[in-house]
Amino acid sequence: MNADAATARRRRALAAAFLVAFALSQALLWYAYYGSGAKALIGDEQTYQRTALSILAGGAWMPGTIWPPLQPLLLAALYAAFGIHLLAAQIAQTLMFVACGALVRDLWRRLGGSVAAANAAAALFLLDPGIAAYAHWLWPEVPHLFLLLAAFALLSRARAFAAGACVGLALLAKSLLSLFWPVLALLLVPRVRPLAGAGRVAAFALGIGLVTAPALVHGWREYGTPMIADSSIYNLWVGLGDRWRSDYVDDMGGRTLPEFLASAATPQQRNAIYLDKVRASVAERGILDVAIAQLGRQYFRLFSAKTPLVSQLPGPACAGHLSVYATSPALTRTLTWANDAFHALILAAAAFGIAAWRRRPDRLMLVLALFAGYQLALFALIHVKARFLLPLLPLLCGFAGSFLVALRRRREDGAIALTPPRLAVGAAFAALLLFLAFAGPVLDRLCAG
């Protein structure tokens, strides 16, 4: 057998192994959700479902200012087309999730990863049950991530208007891009003769504007300012009051919201009241004390291995388990073990991949680095849940895939340098991320008495 035939046979075997593993992972997740009765909706899932049903009944398409409108509109459209069945939304989001895997592969190829590294990145993303389970829930995480990755793919191909439309829809799904989206326009500006990119930037802005215009006009008419949704001050206030390094432990988010909404008639007034509370709290405690407390808590919550999947599996409430899945002890252990194993593998391998990355960053990588920095800076302040890590996972999977491929081949490639100094830095970084992922409940002494 010649070398080419052996390589082709090995690729087919890897593809078959991936398909079997993916099918098994999906089967376990679907059985976990429906095997003993459908999982109960929690938190914002309930709000999105109620709003979607209200829209179908002729209610307002933007009934408030806390939640952006895309997710209930998407649910209402699916229910109108296929009947009011949660399964319709789950299948649609599963297709988006698979598309996200393909976009992760495309993104990593454009960033200079090898074909094998891009395949490994997509496989890590698609096989991790803690990521795959998002497709079954009514949070807007999967649609938002799909739109964000699609925007990066279109920006890389200079499809300015379509990229702008995707960014506009992403803004209608979640508010986290509100301050960052102008940075994305840098990908449309040529290095030579930057003014030549003015048309592309204008088309990009037009795409965003046309998609978000109905929501902005609604905000102007209702509240006197063009806005989609604004929960920033509320999340800042709740974030400053977080006590634990794990989410869903004595969580104050849902408890605080009614008080926030009742504090004034308009979003501007509510934000002003709670911004004064934030300032008073910081003045009383001191900036240094607040900064230390936030840094010592919020990144544990963000990188926690107790993902939303594990949080919803059966377990003690004192450790932040909601027990809304009715899984058997054996299935609960299997899903928890797989979640923890993939979470640890992605974080550790990504840490080594970042440290060992030697390819000179291009503009796309710089924008992604700015995006990661923006997210991490934001999460040092606001109320953080583990699901907020999802937008960063494609990048982490990419670095992890490149490192694992280089490690398997036991040699350097165009992107990864396996030198002792880089590996030492990677080991320290990996230890930090794994500490953040697993040490929170131990430091908090959850369920200790």
Whether residue 397 lies inside any domain: the answer is: yes
Per residue in 63-85, pLDDT (tens digit) is 788 899 999 999 999 999 999 99
Residues 271, 258, 391, 317, CA torsion sign: positive
Shortest CA distance to 346 belongs to which of 20, 22, 127?
Answer: 127
Answer for the pair 32, 325: CB distance below 8 angstroms, yes or no: yes
pLDDT of residue 312: 97
Per residue in 314-369, pLDDT (tens digit) is 999 999 999 999 999 999 999 999 999 999 999 999 999 999 999 888 999 999 99
| Model pTM score | 0.95
Phi, psi of 14 (to 5 degrees): -65, -40
Phi, psi of 357 (to 5 degrees): -70, 125
- List the beta bridge partners of residue 357: 416
Per residue in 347-357, pLDDT (tens digit) is 999 999 999 99
Provide the 3-class DSSP secondary structure of residue 230.
coil
Highest mean pLDDT among 175-179, 195-199, 226-230, 371-375: 371-375
Whether residue 28 lies inside any domain: the answer is: no
Q: Helices in 174-303 by DSSP H: which ranges?
A: 181-184, 198-223, 232-241, 253-262, 267-285, 287-295, 298-303
pLDDT of residue 1: 53
Per residue in 392-449, pLDDT (tens digit) is 999 999 999 999 999 887 766 678 999 999 999 999 999 999 999 999 999 999 887 6
What is the Rg, in whole angstroms, of the alpha carbon atoms belonging to the chain? 22
Give how many domains the chain has, as a whole number. Answer: 1
DSSP symbol at 313: S
Whether residue 16 lies inside any domain: the answer is: no
Whether residue 380 lies inside any domain: the answer is: yes
Shortest CA distance to 133 belongs to which of 297, 301, 342?
Answer: 342
- List the beta bridge partners of residue 171: none
Whether residue 27 lies inside any domain: the answer is: no
Averaged pLDDT, 155-160: 92
Q: Which residues constitute the domain of residue 109?
A: 39-442
